[in-house]
Structure 1
Amino acid sequence: MELNLKGKRVLITGASQGIGEGLALAFAREGCDLRIVARSAEKLLAVAERVKAEYGVRADILAIDMALPGAVPQVAEFGDGIDILVNNAGSIPGGNLWDVDESQWRAGWELKVFGYINLTRMLYPMMKARGSGVILNNIGNGGENFDFNYIAGTTGNAALMAFTRALGGQSLADGVRVIGVNPGPVDTDRINKVLKGRAERVLGDASRFTELLEAYPLGRAATVEEIAELFVFLASSKSAYTSGTIVTVDGGITSRRSIG
């Protein structure tokens, strides 16, 4: 399928590893020029060199901690003129209301929740003035499955879902599409770390974390590619009527509800 993305300029935050790295590779395969952001210059350089070598696309990097004061305006300046924004940077700590103290809660939200909101606020007007653009928010299915033991994350994700729907419900009038994606568990270092911690608590042995995968659909987490390719499609002209909605990709976990 021709997605008509060749030459599009894409800004991806949190692009040095995991889903972010997968997003960079997926957009590069379609011939997009990349601007990738993360804290680690070394990891970003590795991603940039890979996409240049494999796909021949341009990949500019900005190594910055987006949680620091003044960082988001620098990222917005780096993203001037882009066609597609992918908000992906952020990790909100797990735990219940008493496990996650105020400073941890605020730090997690500063990067993911306010990071998404503020970068969108700065780049949306440029897209509006041009009459075209796509903003994709990588959120997470915790926003639909309220979790006592992931209270800061489930609340933050729910807020980003509301933000995406509220903005995307009107944005097509400006020629801009705003869409959210809610992945469930994805096969990354982060999910493996989470599962190892859970296995240690529940099974008494972190090395048994693979046993916890048996409860997931198909007995596994999603692959990074399965998530990244959806973002690419949603960014393309083949999805031109999609805005103000959330697409959940979790193998049916969110839909496993019953009245019995």
Structure 2
Amino acid sequence: MKMKSKTVIITGGGKGIGFGVATAFAKEGADIVITGRQESALAAAKEKLESAYGIRVGYVAGDLGLEETAPKVVAKAIEMTGRLDVLINNAQASKSGVMLADHTKADFDLAINSGLYATFFMMRAAFPYLKETQGSVINFASGAGLAGRLGQSSYAAAKEGIRGLSRVAATEWGEYGINVNVVCPLVETEQLKKWKEEYPDVYAKTIKGVPLGRFGDAEKDIGRTCLFLASEDASYISGETITLQGGSGLRP
């Protein structure tokens, strides 16, 4: 129970990668606040986590790209437990697959607002409380930015902006004992499973580019790494980008 008596905020925690990460923290005893746009998904996630692991789960439905949402999320955590120990910025929307020359300003705004601005707003709102606990921030970026992947221009721009923001925060917040790190996951999602069924040959070709021969598991691979980064064991790690891509995210 490494996270017993700890409070964790996970954006986009109602489903997908975020729910996998939330499950990993719930198994270690953390109380959790999750966010997302769909209240029904958040309510279902809350019920699953509380009934399975006996923890407290709060949620806030809303658009994190709006400046007023982040303070509400942080206030929910403080109201629920009186503290905040870990902030995980996972939520992101984008027009993936749209080529750069075909992007509209609205497409670009979607990625920047839901990713970069949302991360900035959440970090700023959480900072006073993370100072009190000498807490941790874990931000999600992507191999799309590291590798410049086709059809990912706005998404990559948002994710690389998050990496730059994280490095500056690691520098500025180190004196308060707050460590800030970035993870770049490659995860088997429901969308990916559907893609595997529809395009098995392309899937098989893609898997060949992953040395470990599989996509990551949201809870066991991504969530457990986030647990490590939020633990005392990783208190001296800050400003780093960790690629969780089965060996396919190699970089100097």
TM-score under structure 1 length normalisation? 0.86
Within the candidate set 184, 203, 209, 1:216 is matched to: 209
SS at match of 1:253: coil
Determine the C-alpha separation between the residues in 1 that align with 2:209 and 2:27: 29
Determine the C-alpha separation between the residues in 2 that align with 1:69 and 1:117: 9
**How does 1:178-217 map onto structure 2 within 5 Å?**
178-183=180-185, 185-192=186-193, 195=195, 206=199, 208-217=201-210
Determine the C-alpha separation between the residues in 2 that align with 1:169 and 1:92: 29
Within the candidate set 226, 234, 244, 2:239 is matched to: 244
Within the candidate set 60, 63, 72, 1:62 is matched to: 60
Q: Is the 8 A contact 2:85 2:133 kept in 1?
A: no
Q: CA deviation at 1:240?
A: 1.0
User: What is residue 37 of structure 1 aligned with on the other side?
Assistant: 35
Q: CA deviation at 1:234?
A: 0.6
Q: CA deviation at 1:208?
A: 5.0
User: What is residue 165 of structure 2 aligned with on the other side?
Assistant: 163
Within the candidate set 83, 90, 93, 1:91 is matched to: 93
SS at match of 1:144: helix
User: What is residue 102 of structure 1 aligned with on the other side?
Assistant: 105
SS at match of 1:36: strand
Q: Alpha carbon RMSD of aligned pairs, Å? A: 2.2
Q: Is the 8 A contact 1:171 1:243 kept in 2?
A: no
SS at match of 1:98: helix
Determine the C-alpha separation between the residues in 2 that align with 1:192 and 1:112: 24
Correspondence 1:229 to 2:224 = yes
Q: Is the 8 A contact 1:41 1:63 kept in 2?
A: yes
Q: CA deviation at 1:146?
A: 1.5
After superposition, the C-alpha distances for 1:64-117 in whole angstroms (9 at most, x for unaligned) are 232346323322322433111111111222222123211011012101111001
Q: Is the 8 A contact 1:165 1:246 kept in 2?
A: no
SS at match of 2:35: strand
Amino acid aligned to 1:216:
G
Q: CA deviation at 1:143?
A: 2.3
Q: 1:65 to 1:190 in 2, by over 3 A?
A: farther
Q: Percent identity?
A: 27
Q: Is the 8 A contact 1:143 1:161 kept in 2?
A: no
Bigger Cα displacement from structure 2, 209-218 vs 162-171: 209-218
Give 5+ residue unaligned stretches, structure 1.
200-204
Q: CA deviation at 1:40?
A: 1.7
Aligned residues: 245
Give 5+ residue unaligned stretches, structure 2.
none
Determine the C-alpha separation between the residues in 2 that align with 1:169 and 1:5: 25
